[in-house]
Amino acid sequence: MELGFVGLGAMGRPMAEHLQRAGHRLHLWARRPESLAPFADSGAVVHATPAALAAATEVAFTIITASADVEQVALGTGGFIEGARPGWVHVDMSTIAPGTTRRIAAALAERGAAMLDAPVSGGSTAAEAGTVAMMVGGDAAVLERVRPLLGCFARAIVHVGDNGAGEVAKACNQMVMVAAIQACAEALQLAKAHGVDPAKVREALMGGSASSRMLDVMGDRMLRRDFAAGIEARLHHKDFGILMDEAARLGAPLPIAAQVWQQLNALMSLGGAHDDTSSLLRVLENASGRSPGA
């Protein structure tokens, strides 16, 4: 198939490569020309605008950071909507506000085109391996049409509901995941405050009911103080901004998420935006006045 792709970052690049290896021809657009470099000799077609990309493709994928950026690519001047036509599909894998997704979907529907909000979980490691988890909002029949494409890089694809439902599910995913990272940081900090070996505490917890993927992966990073970004903390901070805005709009009480958001705010103020979210441990260390080795 002729497939479009916008957003060739840490996750987008390997996902686009999986599609290409499956035999599809890629059509690309990027704001930063350097993002296109990995595809220079791959046979991919580069377009001057998202509109031109849409006109040349059957399905186009996006995975971009911010709600406003996705909306600009889809509906702005020179955007997808100018090249969309009946049957064309936009699959957005970004983590953005549900309301933005619904606006884009409604505008494309007026052209006879469709949109799926299909945010992904698993980070760049899963993107490289082709094993991301995907939560999808939109028409079930459209999802079935593109499911073979999604299967090129996703191990789990769940249809959650109508447009926006995928983004709601992703917000829930982020709440549970980052709250667990914060809990891991607090547990290791408490162990240290008692003078008990945090590594032994983690080992003990991994054998009990507190065992989790976050304690396994993020707890290990905290112990090794390896805060090089797996997923940059600024992205989780952005996600929490979205979900807290939604909570305020809906009047939905999210007390634990609100506390975690404040910890992410503190991490941003400490200059940790581009570090891994496991560096939430540093916020606790800073608050306690204890040095890492204390």
Q: Is 170 a catalytic residue?
A: yes
Q: What are phi and psi of 117, to 5 degrees?
A: -90, 120
**CA 137/CA 160 separation, integer angstroms:** 6
Band (230; pLDDT cuts 50, 70, 90): confident
pLDDT of residue 33: 87
Residue 290 pLDDT > 70: no
**Got the DSSP string for 231-253?**
SBHHHHHHHHHHHHHHHHHHT--
Instruction: Answer yes or no: is pLDDT of 125 > 50.
Output: yes
Q: In the chain, what are the domains?
A: 2-161 (3.40.50.720), 168-288 (1.10.1040.10)
Q: pLDDT at position 231, please?
A: 85
Mean pLDDT, the chain, rounded, equals 95
Find the mean pLDDT for residues 252-274: 96
Q: What is the pLDDT of residue 57?
A: 98
Residue 27 and residue 71: Cα distance in Å, rounded?
A: 19
What Å distances lie between residue 19 and 24, 106, 127, 174, 294, CA to CA?
6, 27, 12, 26, 49
> In the Cβ-directed half-sphere of 264, how many Cα atoms lie within 13 Å?
25
Which tokens sit at 61? Answer: 């994928």
CA 217, 223, 228, 233 torsion-angle sign: positive
Residue 105 has pLDDT above 90, yes or no: yes
Residue 194: burial class (beta carbons within 10 Å; 0-12, 13-18, 19+): exposed
Angle at CA of residue 97, ends 94 and 103, nearest 5°: 95
Torsion of CA 76, 80, 83, 84, to 10 degrees: -120
Query: pTM of the entire structure?
Result: 0.92
The residue from 170, 192, 200, 238 that is catalytic is 170
The answer to whether residue 294 scores a pLDDT higher than 50 is no
CA 93 to each of CA 74, 127, 200, 214: distance values in angstroms, whole numbers, following the listed order: 13, 12, 39, 23
Number of residues in the chain: 294
Which of 159-192 are b and which e, b meaning 16 or more Cβ less than 10 Å from the residue's Cβ? bbeebbbbbbbbbebbbebbbbbbbbbebbbebb
Cα 276 to Cα 230: distance, rounded to the nearest angstrom: 5
**103: nearest Cα among 67, 133, 130:** 67
- Percent of the chain predicted with pLDDT > 70: 98
Q: What is the rounded end-to-end Cα distance, in angstroms, of the chain?
A: 58
Q: For 205-214, how does the pLDDT look when each residue is reduced to its tens digit (9 = 90+)?
A: 999 999 999 9
pLDDT of the residue at 291 = 52
Characterise 43 by phi-psi region: left (phi > 0), alpha (psi -120 to 50), beta (else): left
